Amino acid sequence: MNAMNPLSGPVLDSLRSSTRRRFLQHCGTGMGSLVLASLLDEKLFAAGNPAAVAQAVGTHFAPKAKNIIYLFQSGGPSHLDLFDHKPELNKRNGQAVPEELVKNIRLAQIGKNASLLGTRYKFAQYGKSGVWLSELMPHLQSIADDVCFVQGFHSEAFNHDPATLFMNTGAQLSGRPSMGSWFSYGLGSENKDLPAFVVLMTGVGQPLTNAAWGSGFLPTQHQGVALRSQGDPVLFVSNPPGMGAERRRQSLDALKDLNTLRLDVVKDPEIATRIAAYEMAYRMQTSVPDVMDISKEPLRYQEMYGTTPGRASFANNCLLARRLVERGVRFVQLYHRGWDHHGGPDGNLVFDLKTRCQETDQPAVALIRDLKERGLLDSTLVLWGGEFGRTPMMQGALSPDQIGRDHHPHGYTVWMAGGGIKPGMVYGRTDDFGFYAVENKVHVHDLHATILHLFGIDHLKLTYRFQGRDFRLTDIHGEVVRPILA
Amino acid sequence: MSPLNHSASVLQRHRIVRTVAVWAVGIATTSLLHAAVDFAKEVEPLLIKRCSECHGPDKQKGALRLDTRAAAMKSGESGKPALLPGKPDDSELIRRVTTSDPDDAMPPKGERLTDAEVAVLRQWIAEGAVWPEFDARRHWAFAPVVRPELPAVKRSGWARNEIDRFILARLEQEGLKPQAEADRPTLIRRLSLDLNGLPPTWDEVAEFVADKSPNAYERLVDRLLDSPYYGENMARGWLDLARYADSNGYQVDLARSIWPYREWVIEAFNRNMPFDRFTIEQLAGDLLPNPTLEQRIATGFNRNTKINDEGGGDDEEYRTKAVKDRVATVGTTWMGLTVMCAECHTHKYDPISHDEYYQLYAFFNSTSDSGNYSLNPTIEVPPPDVRRPLRELRDRLATTRVELVSTEKVWEAGQAAWERQALKSPWTVLTLTNVVSTGGSGYTNLADGSVLGTGVNPIYDTISFEADTPLTGITAVLLEVLPDPSLPKNGPGRWGQTGNFILDEFALMARPLFDGAPATNVFFAGATADWEQQYYRADHAVDRNPKTGWAIGPRFGQRHFLIADLQSPAGYRGGTRLQFKFEHYHGNSHAIGRFRVSVTTETDPLRRWAVSPEVAEVLALPAGQRNADQAKLVAAAYRSASPDIRRLERELFRLNQRETELASRKYTTPVLQERSEPRPTHVQVRGNFLEKGKEVRPGVPAVFPPLPKDVPPNRLALARWLVDPSHPLTARVTVNRYWERLFGTGLVKTSDDFGRQGETPANAALLDWMASEFIASGWDVKAMQKRLVMSAAYRQDSATDDLRQEKDFYNRLVSRGPRFRMDAEMIRDQALRVSGLLNPEVGGPSVYPVQVPNLWKELGFLRPEIGMDEWPVSEGSDLYRRSVYTFWRRVCTYPTLATFDAPSRDVCAARRPRTNTPLQALAGLNDPTFLEAARVFAQRILEQGGRAPADQMEFAFRTCLGRSPTRTEKTRLMDFLNRQLEGYTRDSAAARALVEVGAVPRPASVDIRALAAWMMVANVLLNLDETLTKG
């Protein structure tokens, strides 16, 4: 093939480097240098002093975290039955909700005269922080000292679609880049054979829209790549039957040679980029199925996570998340559906809530333990949370299969571990009803600002110009929540 | 690069400019040592970003305002001057941004200013706080369009029309020469792709190359402009602006019928509707006197807004969102303005106040559509021409019937033998115990061994039950679903509207009865059923994928059964406990209502075919004693045991259903309709629809020419105002977009922002000349396209060299011909055209070309009752329509189009990004559409390319790229071909597998080994950079 090839390696390389030079000249300021961070040696991370790291990597300041695993619990888990212990609410179980709590808000489905509902689950205190946790999360109890519970968390939207978009893109309408896309844009990937932003889905319930992991107005290469648990993990990554890797390689060699001939004639550097894209596609054909194959993991880990190889499960995806992070994927997001417990047989606070907890508690905790064992937890942020919490008021009826709560964005809990977050901490609180966040409140935009901060990015400076405006993940808001930084 | 590179107004005085430029470069060099602060670049953005939220046009905290010099010079409440020119240390501004006193520190929120930012402010104040007053009216884009003089040029012989004079003047100024004219094959490919969105055929190339007449090029242009493909191609960009999609958006994202609007757009382009009329009909066709049906359809432009289908949404919230979307879309589409920035506060850069935003909003606030659930108002439109799809359907019906008859003939012969063995059922009915529903439903055992669900009807459910059996060597499980009068519509499912069910997963575990060993999984190899609903196959119940399942629509109210085959025989000596599980994830109460389970050790699938008790009764009678009905019953039972007959019957059923639907369907499209009582419009405080400010009337921003006084201020007046020749933006924005389509980047690169934050034009005089020409021509769209492509600038070769790369890297000066990757739709359409698959029909409802199965289900769209859970793949040649007709679902845009940067169409998109990614490579290589195109292209090469492989290669290359290969190219490809031929000759099984792809039949005469080898070549050709690129 080389004999055929009028443009040998060095010539191509020089063209590529001229393109890169152009890129630096023309992209100038902004995130240009940050985007290049991925080209640099990650060993810097382990050793150097913070300032040197920030400078070399090109972030705004020294990063604590390199990777993030976002365990998105879709539907809105009930903070009141899992994390937020409210004796007063339990005491007033069955009484009408105080009028002043509901007078200024809109509710999704229940009326403003709904009655208060205490939790039916036992709470106890765990770890050094003495956080109160419900009996439904026995595994989580065991790692209370690794986790920071943000209990004064609040959002704005009270319907699934806008609320999910808000948590993921900082805006309620679709069209903005998702958090993972901003990370891909800002920090790039550490693995040239895998995408920077990967999405995994399990469970049934409210539909999810591509916009939650879309790149919005950022270039398409930053969108989340959904790895599917059935069929091709990445669309079209498999060659058709009857081709095989060897013939694919031969055809890519022919393609490369012909493209190189064309490059010689028209000298458009875009051709060199296209050649590189096809080569990465070829590498993905091996690397993606390889990372997806969790059956290669030792039995010990299968048991620790509670996986069921060959079948889609949250546990499988947690183990997969660890494998992806090990390989340098920047942002791994797991969606697990089925937390929308309005009451009634399709979603209630007895059967369904318990099942969801059984599906998620063990694997999420296994993930944190596993990351810790491998020394990856310090540089990997794990975030657990839904698009909203649930109302202190009851929806449905009191029988076990009818009991539920409505959507509630005004105060709920998300938790984080690793990645430069202070471990073993409870931050903020809601009022005695678990209704409004009242102390050390953390808004969605604040969470976004804080996460970016952990990665060495100033949320005010990570911008992209679109329709005449410099857009940010945090819109025009956001404060870094410093007390929860380690 | 010279700092004056982008300065536009100086172009016409280029002789002066050159002197000035030298001077400016001199300054720039020295100023590196001691640069004066540039207010507009360094200070103003800082003030806007960090101060103006509280000290700006909308709010003046502490009575301080920092958005104009005059205001900033006054002191605020503190009485201390914010700015003292020349004295930074005495300026309160500097004290506040540097103080460590938390009560005084500014800005109070967010990070402190950096040292560098403070230094800029200091230096600026020290230098006298120079603050050039900005007059929005003098911003280049808001000034009236004045037709410029043609500039003088040296190589005037090069120019073919006025456009070239402007381009050449700019090139000469930079010391660049235009590139030579591209060769004819290149030109015809470029023109065909640009004007029709499709590559030329080789015959067309050959004809053009041979045409020696002086007007050959112009005649080609005219032919392409007259082609119906022209309208389809132009529509693509317009539909991005119009955010056209076939679904409602938001979470549930139901389908909508608005394709008549798309058809209107395509027709309007094809008939060359002048752009002013095009504008008026879309924005206000309903308000024209006696509007025609077409004019009302045109108002669909603003019905492409999203509608919420999720329960609990606030209708007014979503309605106001739609109105805001209309304001934003009209602002971007016609004025290239970021009007939406003024939704929450006065625009920070452009002269659009918060109040003026809501004046624009008022134009769109009085239509009768709503924000939730309903697409009304809609109007009925004449049905599309369904003759071709009907004919195809009926052809398929006929061939399927013939096939069924012949299959039945063969099958019938075995009936007597079957009857003998069917007399004795191989199935043992299990006694089901311990039936538990997680959803809380009750189950009652009935005398016939079946179980009936009662009480709570859960929306989702998991039902588990057990049975003991002494059998070993169990080979299959029979699940009978039975009707029952207590079930909705007689069952057998519990879905209230039909009696359907969806069995998402059917799982089985087994454990020995007489020792403590735990239960282990029993795996199924597959499943068959007597009836399967489309997309809900028996196999889906045992595929371990919770998102797919078995259902029986529309054959409700009767017995059906499913037979699940075990991977290996099950059952322990001494007895086995079987633990079954049904999983119903689909929601909306789709559980099975009554069922019975049996097992067998029989291995012959035919013997296992389950016979109902009624049939069993008849079978017991000697053949002679059966009446006609009974004989029919037995015959039907026997027929259903044939997998081929079942498949053909299902196919017939589906085709019949489709035929009825196609022949009788009514078609509607949403339109705009003004309410009889206009809604009052209030300013929304911070853009919050719940917080109403003062009332405003419809009106336009003061920076623009006013609305005419003598007409009512409604949408019609607004539309006419937009296309009034005095409007400074509409023509500029529109011709810039035409330029962008052809040259890759607009003369104004920010084609969606002509405001102060946008880029100044690379060639302002040219932009204004084109704008004035466009207006003068009577907004003649085709004439403008023609003028652009007739230019010498457009006809240049696209090759570049060191000098051009140095001085014109992005080709903004047009020092060479355009070269860039094609849009998503063009890439797919080209593959269809090259292979010969393309169905060239124009217009009609959206179609569903091949898409990866289950994509919608994976996103959680599990709603069969609303028909939005599975992509309903099209039939016949509808699979190969142009991409503009592909069903556009917002939450799940057709994957390959999205991968190649097609927008979701949630909102108005003025520009598509143009990325170059590995996912695109994977799509080009392995998307079944491209694979089928490669296979059919290979057939074409073998059938039409001559006999010698070298000729065939020549044919293949020409067909794909419109040119002959060079010798090196050809040699390389022939090597590749020979290697593939060799490989597939050795492995014809692989060849057979490869050419299996796609729905189009394969001629029996074709040698599959050659076909496979050529398919590999075609796959390479379709992925060449040159193929994907317009050059």
- Considering only CB atoms, B819 lies closest to which of A209, A266, A277, namely A266
Distance from CA of A72 to the nearest CA of B (A): 14
Write out residues 233-262 of B within 8 Å (CB-CB) of A.
249-253
Are residues B389 and B444 both part of a single domain? no
Check CB contact under 8 Å for B311 and A109.
yes
pLDDT (mean) for B91-99: 88
Residue at a domain's end among B106, B134, B162: B134
Write out residues 968-997 of B within 8 Å (CB-CB) of A.
968-969, 971-973, 975-976, 979-980, 983, 989-997
**pLDDT of B33 above 80:** no
The confidence score (pLDDT) of residue A58 equals: 63
Write out residues 110-139 of A within 8 Å (CB-CB) of B.
none
Check CB contact under 8 Å for A161 and B251.
yes
Question: Taking CA A410 as the corner, what is the angle to CA A405 and CA A414, rounded to the nearest 5 degrees?
Answer: 85
Specify the residue for token string 């005398």. B447
Give percent of chain B above pLDDT 90: 65
pLDDT (mean) for B404-408: 93
**pLDDT of A2 above 60:** no
> d(Cα A341, Cα B137) in Å, to the nearest integer?
56
In a domain, A245, yes or no: no
Are residues B467 and B327 both part of a single domain? no
Place B208 in a pLDDT band, splitting at 50, 70 and 90: very high
CA distances from B14 to B8, B92, B165, B827, B841 (A): 10, 45, 13, 42, 51
The 10s digit of each residue's pLDDT in B541-599 is 998 877 789 999 889 999 999 999 999 999 999 999 999 999 998 778 899 999 999 99
**pLDDT of B866 above 90:** no
Are residues B484 and B398 both part of a single domain? no
In a domain, B24, yes or no: no
The confidence score (pLDDT) of residue A477 equals: 92
Specify the residue for token string 């705004």. A60
The 10s digit of each residue's pLDDT in A73-113 is 999 999 999 999 999 999 999 999 998 998 888 887 788 88
The 10s digit of each residue's pLDDT in B835-846 is 999 999 999 999
Does the bond joining B260 to the residue before it have cis omega, within 30 degrees of 0? Answer: no
Residue at a domain's end among A62, A85, A106: A62
Higher pLDDT, B1026 or B616: B1026
| B53 contact A CB<8A | yes
Are residues A128 and A210 both part of a single domain? yes
**pLDDT of B63 above 90:** no
pLDDT (mean) for A316-325: 96
Look at B117-121, B366-370, B1016-1020 and tell me which has the smallest mean pLDDT. B117-121
- Considering only CB atoms, B799 lies closest to which of A209, A255, A267, namely A267
Write out residues 312-341 of A within 8 Å (CB-CB) of B.
312, 337
CA distances from A277 to A61, A221, B394, B825 (A): 31, 11, 45, 20
User: Which residue of chain B comes nearest to A247, CA vs CA?
Assistant: B980
Distance from CA of A130 to the nearest CA of B (A): 32
Are residues B418 and B534 both part of a single domain? no
Check CB contact under 8 Å for A225 and B919.
yes
- Considering only CB atoms, B458 lies closest to which of A175, A277, A346, namely A346
User: Which of A220, A252, A285 best probes binding to B when mutated, by most B CB atoms within 10 angstroms?
Assistant: A220
Rg (CA), chain B: 36
**pLDDT of B16 above 60:** no
Are residues A377 and A461 both part of a single domain? yes
Helix %, strand %, coil % for chain A, to 5? 40, 20, 40
The confidence score (pLDDT) of residue A60 equals: 83
Here the tokens at position B793 are 């600038």
Check CB contact under 8 Å for A255 and B1024.
yes
The 10s digit of each residue's pLDDT in B661-670 is 888 889 999 9
Are residues A316 and A432 both part of a single domain? yes
Higher pLDDT, A245 or A40: A245
Place A33 in a pLDDT band, splitting at 50, 70 and 90: very low
Give percent of chain A above pLDDT 70: 87
**pLDDT of A31 above 50:** no
User: Which of A192, A194, A266 best probes binding to B when mutated, by most B CB atoms within 10 angstroms?
Assistant: A266
Look at A214-218, B246-250, B282-286 and tell me which has the smallest mean pLDDT. A214-218
In a domain, B269, yes or no: no
In a domain, A248, yes or no: no
In a domain, A365, yes or no: yes
The confidence score (pLDDT) of residue A34 equals: 36
In a domain, B223, yes or no: no
**β B667-670/B378-381 pair status:** antiparallel
| Range of the structural domain that residue B957 is part of | 926-1030
Write out residues 184-203 of A within 8 Å (CB-CB) of B.
195, 201
> d(Cα B780, Cα B768) in Å, to the nearest integer?
16
Alpha helices in B480-622 (DSSP H): 605-608, 613-620
**With contact defined as beta carbons under 8 Å apart, do B540 and B505 qualify?**
no
In a domain, A54, yes or no: yes
Residue at a domain's end among A41, A62, A83: A62
Check CB contact under 8 Å for B805 and A267.
yes
Place A19 in a pLDDT band, splitting at 50, 70 and 90: very low
Q: Read off the amino acid at residue A156.
A: E
Are residues A454 and A333 both part of a single domain? yes
> How much is the mean pLDDT over chain A?
85
In a domain, B800, yes or no: no
Handedness of CA A5, A9, A11, A13 (dihedral sign): positive
Specify the residue for token string 């790229």. B961
The confidence score (pLDDT) of residue A10 equals: 36
Write out residues 203-222 of A within 8 Å (CB-CB) of B.
204-211, 214, 219-221
ipTM passes above 0.95: no
In B689-810 the beta strands, taken as DSSP E runs, fall at 692-696
**pLDDT of A132 above 50:** yes
**With contact defined as beta carbons under 8 Å apart, do A340 and A76 qualify?**
yes
User: Which of B46, B808, B922, B930 best probes binding to A when mutated, by most A CB atoms within 10 angstroms?
Assistant: B922
How many structural domains is chain B composed of? 5
Contacts of A209 in chain B (CB under 8 A): 250-251, 253, 859, 890-892
Specify the residue for token string 């040159």. B1026
pLDDT (mean) for B704-712: 93
In a domain, A296, yes or no: no
The pTM of this model reads 0.79
Look at A340-349, B294-303, B528-537, B856-865 and tell me which has the smallest mean pLDDT. B856-865
The confidence score (pLDDT) of residue B129 equals: 85
Distance from CA of A335 to the nearest CA of B (A): 10
Are residues A196 and A337 both part of a single domain? yes
The 10s digit of each residue's pLDDT in B501-522 is 999 999 999 999 988 888 888 9
pLDDT (mean) for B160-181: 96
Write out residues 78-117 of B within 8 Å (CB-CB) of A.
109-111
Are residues B362 and B415 both part of a single domain? no
Query: Phi, psi at residue B566, to the nearest 5°?
Result: -80, 145
Are residues A56 and A202 both part of a single domain? no
Residue at a domain's end among A62, A77, A106: A62
| A243 contact B CB<8A | yes
The confidence score (pLDDT) of residue B27 equals: 30
In a domain, B398, yes or no: yes
How many structural domains is chain A composed of? 2
pLDDT (mean) for A441-452: 97
Does the bond joining B470 to the residue before it have cis omega, within 30 degrees of 0? Answer: no
In a domain, B282, yes or no: no
Q: Read off the amino acid at residue B228.
A: P
Residue at a domain's end among B134, B163, B178: B134
User: Which residue of chain B comes nearest to A239, CA vs CA?
Assistant: B926
Are residues A57 and A69 both part of a single domain? no
Write out residues 311-350 of B within 8 Å (CB-CB) of A.
311-314, 321, 332, 338, 340-341, 349-350
Check CB contact under 8 Å for B461 and A345.
yes
Are residues B511 and B575 both part of a single domain? yes
Look at A310-314, B446-450, B645-649 and tell me which has the smallest mean pLDDT. A310-314
Are residues A128 and A200 both part of a single domain? yes
Are residues B348 and B487 both part of a single domain? no
> d(Cα A121, Cα A125) in Å, to the nearest integer?
13
Place B104 in a pLDDT band, splitting at 50, 70 and 90: confident
Place A53 in a pLDDT band, splitting at 50, 70 and 90: very low
Which CATH number do you get for residue A373?
3.40.720
Give percent of chain A above pLDDT 90: 61
Look at A111-125, B539-553, B702-716 and tell me which has the smallest mean pLDDT. B539-553
Are residues A47 and A143 both part of a single domain? no
Phi-psi region of A144 (alpha: psi -120 to 50; beta: other; left: phi over 0): alpha
Contacts of A157 in chain B (CB under 8 A): none
User: Which of A29, A176, A209 best probes binding to B when mutated, by most B CB atoms within 10 angstroms?
Assistant: A209
In a domain, B934, yes or no: yes
Check CB contact under 8 Å for B922 and A284.
yes
Are residues B561 and B499 both part of a single domain? yes
Are residues B695 and B645 both part of a single domain? no
| Range of the structural domain that residue A56 is part of | 31-62
The confidence score (pLDDT) of residue B114 equals: 83
In a domain, B857, yes or no: no
The confidence score (pLDDT) of residue A44 equals: 35
> d(Cα B932, Cα B161) in Å, to the nearest integer?
44
Q: Read off the amino acid at residue A394.
A: M
Contacts of B860 in chain A (CB under 8 A): 201, 204-208, 337
In a domain, A239, yes or no: no
**β B820-821/B1029-1030 pair status:** antiparallel
Look at B86-90, B267-271, B527-531 and tell me which has the smallest mean pLDDT. B86-90
Are residues B598 and B693 both part of a single domain? no
> d(Cα B247, Cα B905) in Å, to the nearest integer?
10
Are residues B432 and B482 both part of a single domain? yes
> d(Cα B772, Cα B728) in Å, to the nearest integer?
10
Check CB contact under 8 Å for A174 and B853.
no
The confidence score (pLDDT) of residue A256 equals: 97
- Considering only CB atoms, A346 lies closest to which of B460, B923, B1029, namely B460
Are residues A58 and A93 both part of a single domain? no
The 10s digit of each residue's pLDDT in A385-444 is 999 999 999 998 888 778 999 999 999 999 999 999 999 999 999 999 999 999 999 999
Check CB contact under 8 Å for B111 and A458.
yes
Residue at a domain's end among B577, B610, B643: B610
> How much is the mean pLDDT over chain B?
90
Are residues A119 and A205 both part of a single domain? yes
Contacts of B916 in chain A (CB under 8 A): 270, 273-274, 277
In a domain, A81, yes or no: yes
> d(Cα A143, Cα A418) in Å, to the nearest integer?
12
Contacts of B806 in chain A (CB under 8 A): none
User: Which residue of chain B comes nearest to A220, CA vs CA?
Assistant: B901
State the count of interchain CB pairs (< 8 A) between A and B: 287
Check CB contact under 8 Å for B915 and A221.
yes
Check CB contact under 8 Å for B972 and A238.
no
Please state, as a whole number, how many other Cβ atoms lie within 10 Å of the Cβ of residue B155: 12
**pLDDT of B10 above 90:** no
In a domain, A261, yes or no: no
Are residues A42 and A101 both part of a single domain? no
Contacts of B975 in chain A (CB under 8 A): 4, 254
Are residues B634 and B695 both part of a single domain? no
